[in-house]
Amino acid sequence: MVNDFQYSWIDSDSTLLAMIETLRNEPLLAVDTEFMRTDTFYPKVALIQIASPDNIYLVDPVSLTSLDALKSLFYSEQLEALVLHSCSEDLEVFKTLWQEVPGKIFDTQIAAAYLNLERQPSLQKLLMLLLDIDLPKDETRSNWLQRPLTDNQKRYAALDVAHLLTVYRTLSDRLEIAGRTEWVNEDCQILLKKYSASVDFDNIYRSVGSAWKLQSQQLAVLKLLAAWRDRTAMKKNRPKGHVLKDAVLYDVAEKMPKNVKDLARCDSLSVGQQKRFGSELIEMVLEACALDSSLHPAVLDKPFSRSHKVLSKKLKAVVERIAASVDVPAERLASRKLLERYAVEKLNGRAVPSELIGWRFDVLVTELDKVFDAHNESD
């Protein structure tokens, strides 16, 4: 275990390769990342922290020629797992760097939730609960891309991984006793599947707010607009909203402007946006309108709404009852959004969401189905 907070600063290709050679046979590595993303689509990776049982390394991507060698360490078949805390953003960083995510992870926040140590405990809270260690958070909003980093920033970064392997061992032992190791493994795999998926440009339009209100031809317009907006944001490395916000996409799709005069009726579109993107937007509207109606997307399902308030309460009660019986936070067992997706799929005669396959199916879905079926029969 790391008892002090000395660390090695890795800022050259030679020291990176030496670190990788030292860590190559480690079965577990604790990892964290620091990045910034204020005006870009992709995160700007500023620091990668790695801890083994004996050492802490701070890898400086700003100074290195390439991080490809690090991928061989993180994605090694010999590695049992990368240990991370609340790893969603870290997985985004890995996907940005290497176009794929690691195959094996252990998220200590997920594990803590299944031991009912809080629904989503911060690392600071978890270290206090398990190890009685008070982790300072004074550098949370630091500028991690500045160079040189301050000694305080480096110490803060090192502390973020210094105790993660001890936390892992403590949580793993408790999970084994509780019989919940597989629960954590499944949820980690769900995260990996989510962040490993390629961007499905053909279905981005489905996530635009109120898209369910549009008719099929309008959805054909929205489909082209949403794919174009996201591709543009990626190409220019700008936030999607800096290109066009969802509300603008919806407005254009709803009104389907076929010329400059029509485009002026789209109140959400600024004069500057009309000048920059007007011709492309009109071209996409005309392209969608020229499609045969058989190629238009189907009208989207209505969202789970107030009309389903009674069913919603019944399903929520099932989750709360079962969560209490297995002693986990209800939101960890099934979030409100997941419950709504379950209800929408069932109301439309489709299979339950994939997140409910696995241990949740045995623990939860059978009971949800009973309540859903009884509710339908009573209507």
Q: 327 to each of 111, 322, 324, how far by Cα in Å?
A: 13, 8, 5
366-369 contacts at long range (C-beta below 8 A, 24 or more positions apart): 367/318, 367/322, 368/315, 368/318, 368/319, 368/342
pLDDT of residue 25: 96
Average pLDDT score over residue span 227-254: 98
- Say whether pLDDT at 337 is over 60: yes
Average pLDDT score over residue span 72-100: 97
Specify the residue for token string 């907006």. 229
pLDDT of residue 306: 64
Q: What is the mean pLDDT of the chain?
A: 95
Tell me 305's DSSP state.
-
pLDDT of residue 2: 45
Average pLDDT score over residue span 18-32: 97
Tell me 362's DSSP state.
I
High-pLDDT (> 70) share of the chain, %:
98
Buried b (16+ CB within 10 A) or exposed e, 215-229: eebbbbbbbbbbbbb
DSSP E strand boundaries for 247-375: none
Average pLDDT score over residue span 250-275: 96
Average pLDDT score over residue span 202-231: 97
Strand pairing category for 81-84 and 105-107: parallel
Domains by residue range for the chain, with CATH: 8-196 (3.30.420.10), 201-295 (1.10.150.80), 306-378 (1.10.150.80)
- Say whether pLDDT at 102 is over 90: yes
Output the pTM of the full model.
0.93
pLDDT tens digits, residue range 280-331? 999 999 999 999 999 999 999 888 776 688 999 999 999 999 999 999 999 9
Q: How far apart are CA 314 and CA 285, in angstroms?
A: 43
pLDDT band at 3 (very low <50, low <70, confident <90, very high): very low
pLDDT tens digits, residue range 111-131? 999 999 988 999 999 999 999
Beta carbons of 326 and 249 less than 8 angstroms apart: no
State the Rg of the chain over Cα: 24
- Say whether pLDDT at 352 is over 60: yes
- Say whether pLDDT at 233 is over 90: yes
- Which phi and psi angles does 344 have, rounded to 5°? -65, -45
- Say whether pLDDT at 1 is over 60: no
User: Which residues are CB-contacts of 207 (< 8 A; sequence separation ≥ 6)?
Assistant: 226
pLDDT of residue 135: 87
Beta carbons of 79 and 27 less than 8 angstroms apart: yes
On the question of a cis peptide bond just before residue 303, with omega within 30 degrees of 0, the verdict is no
